[in-house]
Amino acid sequence: MWLSRRGRSTSAEGVCAAAVFVTVRSMALVAAVLLAAFVLPAPWGGLAVVAGGLVETGEVWFWIHWSRRRRADVGVEALIDETATVVAPCTPLGQVRIHGELWRARCEAGADVGDTVRVTGVEGLTLLVER
């Protein structure tokens, strides 16, 4: 098993696991179709295959829509309206810690070390904050 620097498995392993899962599912589908065709009586075998296909189609549709339910918040714009802690006095420029990261910040009213401020905007790589 290949691990990244953080101890998580790499994407290649995830792809292999997905391929194995799809292969197992495909084999199960073939087995179910063969059983339905040769074990069940004439009208019920075809109905079982059609019903299984409909269930599978519905399940695929459900999981595709579930996985796309909302976009991930990424980028510096995702920090707006979050709270931060001042680590270097903002008079008016200083530094704040937000989500474990240090950011340059501007607070027009000024803020002392340890104060909690709210991010109101972004100007380049400088956060605009207020008390």
Q: How far apart are CA 87 and CA 35, in angstroms?
A: 68
Q: Which amino acid does the sequence have at 67? A: S
Q: What does the mean pLDDT of the chain come to?
A: 82
- pLDDT range class, residue 17, cuts 50, 70, 90: low
Chain segment 78-90, per-residue pLDDT in tens = 899 999 999 999 9
CATH of domain 76-130: 2.40.50.140
Q: Which amino acid does the sequence have at 68? A: R
CA triple 37-51-64, angle to 5 deg: 125
Q: How far is CA 37 from the centre of its chain?
A: 41
Going by DSSP bridges, is the β-strand pair 116-123/126-130 parallel, antiparallel, or unpaired? Answer: antiparallel
What percent of the chain is predicted at pLDDT more than 90? Answer: 40
Place of tokens 């994407």: 11
According to DSSP, residue 76 is labeled G
What is the Cβ-side half-sphere exposure of residue 125, based on CA atoms within 13 angstroms? Answer: 5
* Run of H or E residues at 120: strand 116-123
**Domain boundaries of the chain, sorted by first residue:** 11-67, 76-130
**Mean pLDDT on 2-8:** 45
Tell me if residue 85 falls in helix, strand or coil: strand
Chain segment 117-127, per-residue pLDDT in tens = 999 999 999 99
Tell me if residue 74 falls in helix, strand or coil: coil
